[in-house]
Structures are given as structure tokens and as C-alpha cells.
Structure 1
Amino acid sequence: MIKRNFLSLIVASLLIMSCTNNDQFIVEKGKVGLITTETTVKELGNIFENDSIVTQLSEGALGDNYFQDDDKYLIYEKGGKHLLTIVPKEQLDSTSTIKSIEIHDERFKTKAGINLKSNFSEINATNSLRPESTLQSVTLFVDELNATMTIDKEELGLRDFRTQKVSLAQIPDLAKIKSFVVWFN
């Protein structure tokens, strides 16, 4: 009887730990890992207590730079692997919620398995996409995730720096993702 209860306790603990580990890397609309639309900058230290956070603060409204950058919080694993780049809505404010998260680690993925290593055909099969061309890339707007994914124009065989319109049919199935950003607005 005691062995059975002990075994049940071990199995339950393993299930809870595996669910928590899966949540750590899930990407959904309004959620990246353990970060949600309600998460504030000051909570990042607790969420990533086992990782390293590199803080790059802007000059804010008080600075002389009219073309100022946003604050950025770069999250690295202890081994040095870059996981995420987090940008808050309000600069120089620890109570600010999150504006966007750029994903740098392929372990972060949607329930359909879409991640940084996914190719265009995998993304197109599970999401409705709107392409927009820039000088060097094509940005795919993924409304289901409130996310953008960027594909380098070289993946399309285009080497010129024009903003010509690109349709989904022009993007090769095996085109790789250059960046993956989830927006929290």
C-alpha cells in the first residue's frame, strides 16, 4: 500500500514537472513561455531566476536622442544561449507590461509545432498569413498569434533592394524564418 502511494506520488510529480516544462516554451497569442500580457518588467527576474538577463536601457523621454531605441531585456540561459529579447511598452518603467518578444531559441513553439526552424510551408499550412515586403525581407503577419515572422529576400531568390510586392505564392516552401516576434498589444 505504501509503495503504491509512493509510486503514485512520483508519477504525479513527474507529470506536473513535464507540464511546467512544456509551458516554459509554448507560444500562443498573448503568451510566450511563462510571460503573458499581464507580466511586468519587474517580474522578469523571478520568471528567469535561473537564467541571465542583460538590460539595455534607452535614454527615455529625458535623453537628447530623438531617435532613441526601446529598452531591451535580453534573456540568456546560463550556458550563454540567447533565448528571448523582450521590449516593454513603457521605457524606464519597471511596472510596464510587455510590448513584444523576439524569439531566438527553437524550443519556443506553438501548439502546431511552429518555431524558428520551421519553413514557410509548415507556417502557411497552420496559419493565415499576410505578406508585406521591405527592402531586404518579407514580413509575414500571423493574426492567430499576433506575431510577425520575417523571411530574407535571398530565400526567395531576390537580391535587389526594392519594396516590390511579394505574394504568398512567390515564397518557396522551404524558405527559412529569419526572425519570430510575438506582439502583446
Structure 2
Amino acid sequence: MTKKNNLPLIAIVFSLFIFSCSNSNKFKIEKGKVGKITTKTKMLELYSIFKNDSIVKNLSEGAQGDNYFQEDDEYFVYEKGGKLLLTIMPKEQLDSTSTIKSIEIHDPRFKTESGINLNSSFSEINANNNINRIESTFSSATLFIDDLNTTIAIDKEELGLKEFSTQKVTLEQIPDLAKMKSFIVWFH
């Protein structure tokens, strides 16, 4: 008699387990993978992957266009409620069969196996990843993490440096509490 009563309970627990596993994979970042998007995903597949969300396209005008400053198509993925999740750029412009060039992460729920997300501090990033090199731009320092094929930009204000200088930045100069400005996963 108790076995029959436990069956619905076991089914509910199993369903919750499956749902939590699939939900955690929805926001997992790995090399060549962001959630359900992989290096083989084509732009036209985004609509089925994000069928419960909204995708807004900002297409370049190609060689025929007047907007010389926009080189790449951009696909903005918003969840219900209007929160921006991702900015996705295709390898080939104006081609729905193109695979993906890069994905910029805008939501802290997306995280790596080691827990690195948009809200992570430099000390968390440095402790859990091998930073291969740092490049300095006018306004930020960009960390290259080859194990994940990602770049993480940290604003020079976080480093205590003047903006609009190309002063070389070393790992030792970056404060432990410095926050990231952008988090991009590359698919090449």
C-alpha cells in the first residue's frame, strides 16, 4: 500500500530533478557553447531555441548600406519581461544559415562550470581560470581566457587608471574587487 502512495511522490521529485538539470544547462557557459547554442548552431535556429523569448535583429546593410559604422548583424535576445539576455553576432552578415561568431552575455544567470558570471570579481576570475594575455585599449583592459574562448573586459576606472591611455596593464595591477564590463564567448 505504501508503494502506491510513494509513486506520485517519486514522479514529482524526478520531474523536478529533470527540470532543474535542464534549467541549469540553459544558462551554462562552456568552450563553444552557451546554453543550448553551440558552434554548429545556425542563426535561423535561434528562433526555436528562444521560442519563449523575443529576438530583435539589428541588421547591417552590407556593402550596399549607408551605415558604415555598423559592420556586423546583431541579434538581441530578450526574455519575457524585457530583460536582455544575450547579444549574438553571426559569422556571415545577412545570412540566416550562418553560424555564430560571438555571444555577449548580459545576464548573470549565465555562468561557467567554475561559477564565473557577469557579476564575478577579478579575484574570482583569476582564481578559477588561466588568463592567457591582457590587451589594453583606450577605456578597458581585456582578459583573454583561451580555455573557454572568452574575453572579459574590465573598465580602466576599475583599475584606477586614466581612460584614453594605452598604458600596458598587468595581472598584478588589477584590483581583486574589479568587476567586468563585458563578457564575450567566441565561437571560432
Counterpart of 1:98 in structure 2 is: 100
Q: Does 1:184 align with 2:187?
A: yes
Counterpart of 1:172 in structure 2 is: 175
Counterpart of 1:75 in structure 2 is: 77
Distance 1:160 1:82 in 2: 27
Tell me the number of residue pairs that the alignment of Structure 1 and Structure 2 aligns.
185
SS in 1 for 2:103: strand
Q: Which amino acid in structure 1 is aligned with residue 153 of structure 2?
A: T
1:4 CA drift (Å): 2.7
Counterpart of 1:34 in structure 2 is: 36
Q: Which amino acid in structure 2 is aligned with residue 134 of structure 1?
A: T
The correspondence for 1:147, drawn from 143, 147, 150, is 150
8 Å CA contact 2:60–2:67 kept in 1: the answer is: no
Counterpart of 1:24 in structure 2 is: 26
Counterpart of 2:86 in structure 1 is: 84
8 Å CA contact 1:29–1:146 kept in 2: the answer is: yes
Structure 2: state its 5+ residue gaps.
none
Per the normalisation by structure 1, the TM-score is 0.95
Percent of aligned positions with the same letter in both sequences? Answer: 68
Structure 1: state its 5+ residue gaps.
none
8 Å CA contact 2:121–2:179 kept in 1: the answer is: yes
8 Å CA contact 1:149–1:177 kept in 2: the answer is: yes
Q: Does 1:134 align with 2:137?
A: yes
The correspondence for 2:162, drawn from 156, 159, 169, is 159
1:69 CA drift (Å): 2.0
Distance 1:67 1:81 in 2: 26
Counterpart of 1:4 in structure 2 is: 6
Distance 1:96 1:24 in 2: 22
1:66 CA drift (Å): 5.0
Per the normalisation by structure 2, the TM-score is 0.94
1:65 CA drift (Å): 4.9
8 Å CA contact 2:142–2:153 kept in 1: the answer is: yes
1:77 CA drift (Å): 1.1
1:11 CA drift (Å): 1.8
8 Å CA contact 2:135–2:141 kept in 1: the answer is: yes
8 Å CA contact 1:100–1:182 kept in 2: the answer is: yes
Distance 1:68 1:135 in 2: 20
Distance 1:168 1:140 in 2: 9
Distance 2:60 2:163 in 1: 33
